[in-house]
Amino acid sequence: MFKIVQKRELNPTVTEMVIEAPLIAKKAKAGQFIIVRAKEDSERIPLTIAGYDREAGTVSIIFQIVGAGTMELNTLPEGGCVHDFVGPLGKATEIEGLKNVCVVGGGVGCAIALPIAQALHAQGSRVTGIIGFRDKNLLILEDEFRACCDELIVMTDDGSYGRKGVVTLPLEEKIKEGANFDEVITIGPLIMMKFVVKTTKPYNVKTVVSMNPIMVDGTGMCGGCRLTVGGQTKFACVDGPDFDGFEVDFDEAMHRGTMYKEFEGHARDEACNLFKQEVQ
Amino acid sequence: MPNMDPKKCPMPSQDPNVRNKNFKEVALGYTAEMAVTEAQRCLQCKNHPCRSGCPVDIDIPGFIAQVAKGEFEAAYQIIAQSSALPAVCGRVCPQENQCEGKCIRGIKNEPVGIGRLERFVADWHRENVHSAPAKPTPNGHKVAVIGAGPSGLTAAGDLAKMGYKVTIYEALHVAGGVLMYGIPEFRLPKDIVQNEVEGLKELGVDIECNMVIGKVLTIDELLGEYGFEAVYIASGAGLPRFMGIPGESLKGVYSANEYLTRVNLMKAYLPGSHTPIQKSHAVAVVGGGNVAMDAARCAKRLGAETVYIVYRRGMAELPARKEEVEHAEEEGIIFKTLTNPVEVLGDEQGCVKGMTCVEMELGEPDASGRRRPIVKEGSEFELDVDTMIMALGTSPNPLIRSTTPGLDADKHGCIITNGPDGLTSRPFVYAGGDAVTGAATVILAMGAGKEAAKAIDAAIKAKNA
């Protein structure tokens, strides 16, 4: 059992939890992930680490409520416990030696982009942050990004905050202006990462993407998280989750990501109805 | 006078057409009368060849003699001296190639049903004896075991009995390894596995779940600041193999590991489970081992109307246990042997809609001694399936070897050991089971755990002498 020492709502569908897990906090690095199970019979949910405090012995996770599993996780109160918490899994994002990096986050993916931006900032890299959201209500972590980015551009699809448009717009402008990034690191919806790669490829700017496919065990056993990268089968849990964006087969990953959509939707509706009853 | 019945006392089991719709145990086990009758078939021959066939060296004639007398607890105590998991082995060991394969009665007739007797004794003990085992006197030394599967549990049990303080680190949220995530409920009920795990805890073994060694802690930390004098790596099989044919990333293609983990560990077979799994009509399981049989029989139980085993060699070459093949056939699994998939076909949504196969014929024996399958020219045909499960074996998990400097592995990623004692290229680091051999059987993994426990004890004694 792992204690939830802090819980806060970042926006109506995104929650942050700070979990007491001293051993994981000691080893965690930006880009790695954990697997959490809310209760004894819950599903195993992989979530990329959103932050850690080695001294306090805590690891934070930020999740969007998308299915029955994350909905159940969100019912747990501050001061309560998650049943299982395992990690740090996967390889850390490679940031050593990078001097000038653009970090592009989309939606809840910004939660994962943040520790990478912070780690880059801490090693003295110049960090340009581009974060995008559907609208103002879904904006998260702006202050935190501002604190670690030399320049931050906030985008919303509808223009209700920051600049109107998609993240690739300022990214391409920056590249054209001669920003001369060593690397672009992007985390967000698959479709966004696909277009980030489409934007950077003509300029040949190395682009690292953080993949979050369906997983079961997350430790290199089930093979559910396989992706095609450079024509080869790779496993996100042990070979990733970061991959060279130019090599990833995004269309295939997007197809595979919808495998259980019907089941998820159904489970969510069922869970929603249950919660409605509890409220009434 | 021994019972000279040429055949084993039959095992009562669920009717095939009932059991292929439920996840309850297939074989129901002997009654006390059946056990005594079967035990009396043992000739108590002088050379007891059965014993040489047992990877953990159980005193087989000894325990059978007790069963024949109706002394079931005495029989259990004899087995328990050698095996940490008798209720498991009685169910999943390939006895026909081991103890029973060597039985003198088996030369002319059926061998003594040693596996069935072992299972009976273990079940009888579990149901009738509730006293905790005596805790061994601590010897003041600490050993870490990585992985709570059959190999790790066996090594931990043996070391604990010698007085070592043993901590098992398990990556998953529950102990048992393949016994929990891989072997289905209908072949090995999970409460039996957990009962055996509880038995180890009563011996004083600590089990820490959710600990991925190589990530949260390294072998060097265990040997350093954590104060363990030796480590036994039993991290098991790893990443599943795929065929490398087009279409393997379509929705509806599973590895057997994933399929079985969803069904068993994550309990997708229970109504109302939160674990998604494909609702299949026609399933092809590619491979011919026990894992393939397990996956096929699970798919059938989950409601698939048609389930194929697709295997490139013939029926005689199937690596699965004969009993598993027979059970699968009885349950309506269709064996498409001498058949090999060459492409998985998808629909516009990216879901599996079929597979293209070729027919095979057997040529000269290859390095493994089995006849090599050769493609028959122009034999391509399509098989209508909506789910494919790849049961082609695994390659070892990379997490430990990649984080332990000086730990040698072969080109496949299997940890290299000195020999049967399991010593690796690092002093006081031992390894065994699938992490060393690649995918093999439960009992071989247990045998390796036993040998390593002996070697660890000897090494720690020598160091402190």
The pLDDT value recorded for residue B404 is: 92
pLDDT level of residue A277 (50, 70, 90 thresholds):
very low
Q: Record the tokens describing residue A218, joined without a space.
A: 């997350």
- How far is Cα B371 from Cα B373, in angstroms, rounded to an integer? 6
> Which chain B residue is nearest to residue A268, measuring alpha carbons?
B274
**Tokens in use for B228?**
């363990």
pLDDT at B268: 87
In whole angstroms, give the CA distance from residue B103 to residue B185.
29
Closest by Cβ to B239, choosing from A37, A223, A256: A223
Q: Record the tokens describing residue B402, joined without a space.
A: 């990649």
Q: Is the pLDDT of residue A24 over 60?
A: yes
Q: How many CB atoms lie within 10 A of CB B174?
A: 19
In the prediction, which pLDDT does A270 show?
A: 58
Q: Which of A30-34, A60-64, B130-134, B232-236 has the weakest average pLDDT? A: B130-134
CA A207 to chain centroid, in Å, comes to 16
Token output for B167: 């901590």
Q: What is the 3-state secondary structure (H, E, C) of B323-367?
A: HHHHHHHHCCCEEEECEEEEEEEECCCCEEEEEEEEEEEEEEECC
pLDDT at B83: 87
Phi and psi angles of residue B31, each rounded to the nearest 5 degrees, phi first: -85, 170
Q: Is the pLDDT of residue A276 over 60?
A: no
A150-168 pLDDT tens trace: 999 999 999 999 999 999 9
- Reported confidence tier of residue A134, pLDDT bands at 50, 70, 90: very high
Contact B238, B422 (CB under 8 A): no
Q: 3-state class of B256 per DSSP?
A: helix
Q: Which of A27, A217, A256 sits opposite B251 (nearest CB)?
A: A256
Q: Which tokens hold the place of B197? A: 């795990």
Tell me if B261 and A216 make a contact (CB, 8 A cut-off).
yes
Q: Indicate the pLDDT class of residue B395, thresholds 50, 70 and 90.
A: confident
- Do A223 and B399 make contact, defined as CB atoms within 8 angstroms? no
Nearest to A214 by CA among A263, A172, A273: A263
**Beta strands B352-365 and B339-346, pairing class:** antiparallel
Q: How confident is the model at residue B462 (pLDDT cuts 50, 70, 90)?
A: very high
The 10s digit of each residue's pLDDT in A253-262 is 988 888 787 7
Q: B409-428 pLDDT, tens per residue?
A: 998 889 999 888 999 999 99
Contact A224 B239 (CB under 8 A): no
Judged against a pLDDT cut of 60, whether residue A280 lies above it is answered with no
Cβ-Cβ contacts under 8 Å, B210 against chain A:
84-86
Residue B289, token pair as written in the block: 């081992």
Which pLDDT value is given to residue B457?
96
Which amino acid is residue B219, in one-letter code? I
Instruction: Enter the ipTM.
Output: 0.88
Nearest CA-CA distance, residue B262 and chain A, Å: 7
The strands making up A58-64's β-sheet, listed across from edge to edge, are: A81-82, A2-11, A14-20, A58-64, A45-53, A33-37, A84-89
Helix (H, G, I), strand (E, B) or coil at A249: coil
pLDDT at A108 over 60: yes
